[in-house]
Structure 1
Amino acid sequence: MPKIPDSMTALETAAKIIIEGGVVAFPTETVYGLGANALDPMAVARIFEVKERPSFDPLIVHIADLEQLQVLSTSEDPRIGKLAEAFWPGPLTLILPKTDRVPDIVTSGLPTVGIRMPDHPMALELIRESGCPLAAPSANKFGRLSPTRAAHVERHLPEVDYILDGGTTRVGLESTIVRLESDGFLILRPGGITREDLVAVLPESAKTVEAGSPEAPGMLDSHYSPSKPFYLYRPEILGRIEPSKAGFISFQGEKPATFLQMRILSPKGDLKEYATKIFSALHELQESEVDVILAEPIPETGIGIAIMDRLRKAAHPWH
C-alpha cells in the first residue's frame, strides 16, 4: 500500500487511487467494501481479481447523491423516491434496470444493477472525492467472512491498493437487497432493513425468492464462511466434535458444554447488538487455537432473520 504524502489526507490518497483505476477498501455502516470506479470495466476487473470472485456474481454500486442514481439506472419508478427518502443513506440496496454506462462486468451481464447510498461519512466523501460511483462488494476473499474492521481487511486482502480505516462498522451485516416489481417487491437478501420496515413505506406484499442464478450478492447457498469448520449448534453436534477444542458463540450467555473459548454477544438479548458483533467474533475464533466453531441459533424476528441467513450460509459447507 502506498505511503500517504505529507500534503495529502488519507481520503485524498484513496480517491486518487480510485481515479487512477485502483481498488480501495473503505468503511460503510454495514461492512468494509472493496471499491473501484463502477464506470471503468478494467478497474472493476481488479475487484474480481483481488477477491477471487467468480464473474457470475454481480456487484453493488455505491452512490453519494441521487444525481448519480440517474447515471446508473433508467428507472422512473416513483417508489424509488419513497424508499430513498426513508432509508438512504442506509443499508438498503435496490435492484434497478441499468443504463448503458454501467459495464456488464459490474452486473455479470444482467440488465439490472444493485445500487445503494451508504450511511458512513467516510464512504460518502470517498465517492464525492473520486467523482464517480463505486462498485464495492465486501472487502474479503469470495465466500469468506465479511470484514467489520480495517484489520480484517489488512489480514485477509494484502493485495488491496489502500485501506481507509473508519473504525468498527455500525450495523455489521450487509445491506438488505430489494427488487421492485409491478405488483410489489422482492427481498433477495435480508439485512438491517427488515420486511416490516419496507412494508411500512410500501404497503405491498413482500415476496420471497429461491436461490438460483444470483441476481444479487449473497444469494448462493454457501457464503460468509470462516476457514475453520462452523456449525449452528444442535445438541447432537456435541457427539461429533470435541468441545474442549471448540469455540462457542452465545447470544445471551447460554453454555451447553465446556468449550475452549466462548463469546457472549448480547447479554441483554439485543439482536442489533448481536449483528454488530457476529462477524468480529467469527474472525477472532477463526484466528484462535480452536479447531471448530459453533454458534447458538437466535430468534428469527426482525434483524434476526438476516443474522440467521448469514449463519446458515456460513455453516453450509460443513452441514
Structure 2
Amino acid sequence: MNAPALAPWHLHKAAAAVRAGGIIACPTEAVWGISCDPLNQMACERLIALKRRDWRKGVIVVAARFEDLPSFVLRPDDIAMQRARASWPGPNTWVFPVSADAPQWITGAHPSLAVRITAHPLLRALCARCGPLVSTSANLSGRAPARTISEVRLQLGKQLDYIVPGALGGRSTPTRIRDVLSGEVLRA
C-alpha cells in the first residue's frame, strides 16, 4: 500500500481533534471511516448517534500495535494470538474477549471487542500519534460506506471535527472479521 505522505500538520490537526473529544474522518483499507478516542464516552456516543447506529453492535478499535490497546482487551492463548498476529498489520479484524471493566460504549452488547492492527499508512500514523481509535465506516447506518471524500462530506461533513485527506488502501471490501478464539468468520 503506497499512499502518499501525509503533511504533518494534517496529522497534528487530526490528533488535536481526537484529543479534544472530536470525531474525524479518514481513509482506511477499503472505505472512509470515522474515528474518535475509544476511551472518551462522550465522543463515542456522539459518533454512534451521528451514524444513527445501534449502540448494541459495538465498534471496531484500530491500533498501530497490539500492545497499544487498552488493558481490558484480554490476550488469548498463544495459538489464538499467533493466528491474529500472523495477519497483522493488515486488513484483518479479530474479535477479542474483554474484561468486565471494558466500556459498553465500545463493546455494545458484547463481552468482546473487534480489533484491527492496521497496515494503512495514514491510519497507522494517526494511531501512533493518538493511540487506538474507534474505526467505523463513514456513512449513515443503512447507507453504503463512503468511498470518496466527497461522499463523506455529503453524508457527515458538517458534523465532523476534521477530515483527513488521503487515499484508500486499495481493498474492494471492508475487512473480514473473525473470532480470535475459534477462528470462525463473523463477517466475510
Bucket of the pairwise TM-score, normalised by the shorter protein: 0.7 to 0.9
Structure 2 length as normaliser, TM-score? 0.88
Partner SS state of residue 150, structure 2: helix
CA distance in 2, matches of 1:93, 1:50: 23
Q: Which moved more, 1:39-48 or 1:94-103?
A: 94-103
Per the TM alignment, residue 70 of structure 1 is displaced from its structure 2 partner at its CA by 5.8
Report the equivalent of 2:135. Answer: 136
Matched AA of 1:134: L
Report Cα offsets for 1:267-306 as digits up to 9, x if no partner. Answer: xxxxxxxxxxxxxxxxxxxxxxxxxxxxxxxxxxxxxxxx
Structure 1 residues 135, 168: closer, same or farther in 2, change over 3 A? closer
CA distance in 2, matches of 1:34, 1:101: 25
Equivalent residues, number: 180
Query: 1:150–1:167: 8 Å Cα contact kept in structure 2?
Result: no
Superposition pairs of residues 143-154 of structure 1, within 5 angstroms:
143-154=142-153
Larger Rg: 1
Per the TM alignment, residue 157 of structure 1 is displaced from its structure 2 partner at its CA by 0.9
Are 1:11 and 2:41 matched, yes or no? no
CA distance in 2, matches of 1:138, 1:83: 25
Higher relative contact order (CA 8 A, sep 6+): 2
Superposition pairs of residues 35-114 of structure 1, within 5 angstroms:
35-69=35-69, 71-100=71-100, 102-114=102-114
Per the TM alignment, residue 114 of structure 1 is displaced from its structure 2 partner at its CA by 0.5
Report the equivalent of 1:33. Answer: 33
CA distance in 2, matches of 1:168, 1:104: 30
Query: 2:45–2:105: 8 Å Cα contact kept in structure 1?
Result: yes
Root-mean-square deviation over aligned CA pairs: 1.8
CA distance in 2, matches of 1:169, 1:155: 21
Query: 1:38–1:102: 8 Å Cα contact kept in structure 2?
Result: no
Query: 2:32–2:168: 8 Å Cα contact kept in structure 1?
Result: no
Which of structure 1's runs of 4+ aligned residues deviate more than 4 A? none
Report Cα offsets for 1:135-183 as digits up to 9, x if no partner. Answer: 11101111211122222211211211111111244103111111134xx
Matched AA of 1:157: L
Structure 1 residues 72, 91: closer, same or farther in 2, change over 3 A? farther
Percent identity among equivalent residues? 30
Matched AA of 2:144: L
Report the equivalent of 1:215. Answer: none
Structure 1 residues 32, 101: closer, same or farther in 2, change over 3 A? farther
Structure 1 length as normaliser, TM-score? 0.53
Per the TM alignment, residue 79 of structure 1 is displaced from its structure 2 partner at its CA by 2.9
Partner SS state of residue 83, structure 2: helix
Matched AA of 2:151: H
Report the equivalent of 2:3. Answer: none
Partner SS state of residue 55, structure 2: coil
Query: 1:95–1:113: 8 Å Cα contact kept in structure 2?
Result: yes
CA distance in 1, matches of 2:72, 2:146: 27
Superposition pairs of residues 220-259 of structure 1, within 5 angstroms:
none
Report Cα offsets for 1:195-245 as digits up to 9, x if no partner. Answer: xxxxxxxxxxxxxxxxxxxxxxxxxxxxxxxxxxxxxxxxxxxxxxxxxxx
Query: 2:139–2:146: 8 Å Cα contact kept in structure 1?
Result: yes
CA distance in 2, matches of 1:41, 1:49: 12
